[in-house]
Amino acid sequence: MNPRVIVVAVGVLAAHAVMLTAAWLHRNAPPPKSVEVQTITAQLITPAPIAQQVAAESIPQPAPPKPVPRVKPKVEPKPVPKAAKPTPQPVTQSPAPSPTPAPAAADPTPAPAAPAPAAPAAAPGPARETMQVSAPKNVPTLQCNFVKPDYPSMSRRRGESGTAYVHFVVGVTGKIESVTLAKSSGYQRLDDAAVEAMNATTCRPYIENGQAIRAARTQPYSFGLTD
């Protein structure tokens, strides 16, 4: 016989033997134990009534303790040391010099008299001012280029007329130093026009004895409707 076929037949027989042995063991095995089932019981807790919660919330809570204010210690001012008063020192008086005895007259001839001290020189007096501002001299005429005043148009329409007298002072250089209204024409506009014309006037210095002096004069300004 073929040895290969023998090996296959032996293997098949061995497999059947194993299967039969397993079936026999399974049949003779004890029945399985029953599994106990444990039951767990759960109980729900009913929540507290709403009234109890409200009552619990309405109970006043104790107020928190108030903070104790912190007291700052008082700072006492430091005493200011007083300045010591100076102790007056006693004034030491020097002893008066003893009088020197006069020497005895050895010679009866009198000593010559000491020369009299020279008289002190007289103190110089205060320097006089070299220039003195003299009062202006009223003169009848002055060499001036008088400016004719403008007749105010409002005065023409209203028929205002009159004569304004303006007093002015001419300095030593010929410059007009001051202008004042000496007599009004009766209308403010006419007076202002006369003063303005005098301020625009130029003059020459007034010469007297070959020297320029301050001079004053009053100039009339007439305003007529026929001008």
DSSP string, 107-133: --SPPPPPPPPPPPPPPPPPPPPS---
Query: Any residues with CB less than 8 A from the CB of 204 and at least 6 apart, and which?
Result: 142, 143, 144, 174
- Decide if 70 is inside a domain: no
- Decide if 159 is inside a domain: yes
Strongest mean pLDDT among 31-45, 127-141, 206-220: 206-220
Is residue 27's pLDDT more than 70? yes
Q: CA–CA separation, 197 vs 151, rounded Å?
A: 11
pLDDT of the residue at 177? 94
Q: CA–CA separation, 192 vs 81, rounded Å?
A: 75
**Rounded-to-10 torsion of CA 176, 178, 183, 188:** 100
Question: Which amino acid does the sequence have at 134?
Answer: S
- In the chain, the number of structural domains is 1
The region of weakest confidence among 1-5, 65-69, 91-95, 195-199 is 91-95
The region of weakest confidence among 55-64, 102-111, 130-139, 159-168 is 102-111
Residue 143, token pair as written in the block? 């060499």
What are the φ/ψ torsions at residue 15 (nearest 5 degrees)? -65, -40
pLDDT of the residue at 128? 42
Residue 170 · residue 138 · CB < 8 Å: no
The C-alpha R_g of the chain, in whole angstroms, comes to 73
Tell me what percent of the residues of the chain surpass a pLDDT of 90: 39
- Decide if 209 is inside a domain: yes
pLDDT of the residue at 125? 43
Query: Average pLDDT, stretch 114-120?
Result: 54
| 189: containing domain | 137-223
Using one digit for the tens of pLDDT, what is the confidence trace for 118-175?
A: 554 444 444 343 345 689 999 999 999 999 999 999 999 999 999 999 999 999 999 9
pLDDT of the residue at 113? 56
Q: pTM above 0.85?
A: no
- Decide if 213 is inside a domain: yes
Residue 218 · residue 198 · CB < 8 Å: no
Other CB atoms within a 10 A radius of the CB of residue 191 amount to: 20
| CATH number of the domain encompassing residue 216 | 3.30.2420.10
Q: Strands (DSSP E) along the chain, which ranges?
A: 137-138, 144-145, 162-170, 176-183, 202-203, 206-208, 211-213, 215-223
- Decide if 144 is inside a domain: yes
Beta bridge partners of 207: 212
Strands 137-138, 215-223: pairing kind: parallel
pLDDT tier, 211 (very low <50, low <70, confident <90, very high otherwise): very high
- Decide if 16 is inside a domain: no
